[in-house]
Chain A
Amino acid sequence: KAGVTQTPRYLIKTRGQQVTLSCSPISGHRSVSWYQQTPGQGLQFLFEYFSETQRNKGNFPGRFSGRQFSNSRSEMNVSTLELGDSALYLCASSLESPGSGYTFGSGTRLTVV
């Protein structure tokens, strides 16, 4: 059974640019969540999508957005990149609700210069 796939694995972007990250969840998983991981703040919740609808949202500015497609694949977008957006972005999927745990992808390492 294929795991959660995130692409690309690494990205380098310039301040002010925008970026789109992609996530393919485990087949059959309908809930997809995104987290930002930094050494200073740890794992911070961005948003959760379920059946193409945003079901929960974390405390991030509107520059961070996402969407989910009918096949459960998800993308997140960050516009007007700032240096502080440099982080590991993790996608996680679960069957219906992540209450009893997620399966995470390996993440996309974003560096903003």
Chain B
Amino acid sequence: QKEVEQDPGPLSVPEGAIVSLNCTYSNSAFQYFMWYRQYSRKGPELLMYTYSSGNKEDGRFTAQVDKSSKYISLFIRDSQPSDSATYLCAMSGPSGGSYIPTFGRGTSLIVHP
């Protein structure tokens, strides 16, 4: 079992839909939880990060962390075609004086007009 599990999709939704992206993990030492967006031929771009449990909102994006269930989510409201990308979850805990993120495989999202 991988440390971080993420459904690769693709997930196809109509414009304006609410999108739910999820990851599960097994390492209870993880403390930081992140979501990245990656467009084709580009590096990942940090969307949001959360420390420990709880919710965080930024515009149309909401991140949720449930440490008791080892489950994190990213919600995108009013999805747009420009949101079409691969979304990667990542999480980190203490390691050798640093916090090295472990990434999920990514979920491909397609928002069609």
Chain A positions within 8 Å of B, measured between CB atoms, are 4, 31, 33, 35, 41-43, 45, 48, 50, 55-56, 90, 92, 97-107
* Docked pose: A3 CA to B96 CA in angstroms: 26
Which residues on B sit within 8 Å (CB–CB) of A98? 92, 98-101
Contact A55 B99, CB 8 Å, known A100-B32, A103-B46? no
CB-CB under 8 A for A100 and B98, given A42-B105, A106-B41, A106-B42:
no
Other-chain contact of A99, B36, B88, B92 (Cβ < 8 Å): B92
Residue ID in chain B nearest A41 by CB atoms: B105
Q: Is B45 in the interface zone, CB < 8 Å from A?
A: yes
Beyond contacts A99-B101, A104-B45: 14 other A-B pairs, Cβ-Cβ < 8 A, are A41-B105, A42-B103, A42-B104, A42-B105, A45-B102, A48-B98, A55-B98, A56-B100, A90-B43, A97-B97, A100-B32, A101-B34, A105-B43, A106-B42
Report A94 CB to chain B, min CB distance, Å.
9
Note all chain A residues with C-beta closer than 8 A to B104: 42
Contact size class for B?
Answer: 20 to 34
Enumerate 5 A-B pairs (CB-CB under 8 Å) in ascending A order: A31-B98, A43-B44, A48-B98, A90-B43, A99-B101
A contact residues around B95 at 8 Å (CB): 56
B46 touches A101 (CB 8 A): yes
A103 to B103, CA, bound (A): 14
Q: How far is the CA of A1 from the CA of B101 in the complex (A)?
A: 24
B92 touches A55 (CB 8 A): no
Pick from A55, A56, A100, A107: contact of B43, CB under 8 Å: A107
**What residues of chain A lie closer than 8 Å to B92, measured between beta carbons?**
98-99
B50's closest neighbor in chain A, by CB?
A100
Residues of A within 8 A of B32 (CB): 99-101
Question: How far, in Å, is A9 (CB) from chain B's closest CB?
Answer: 9
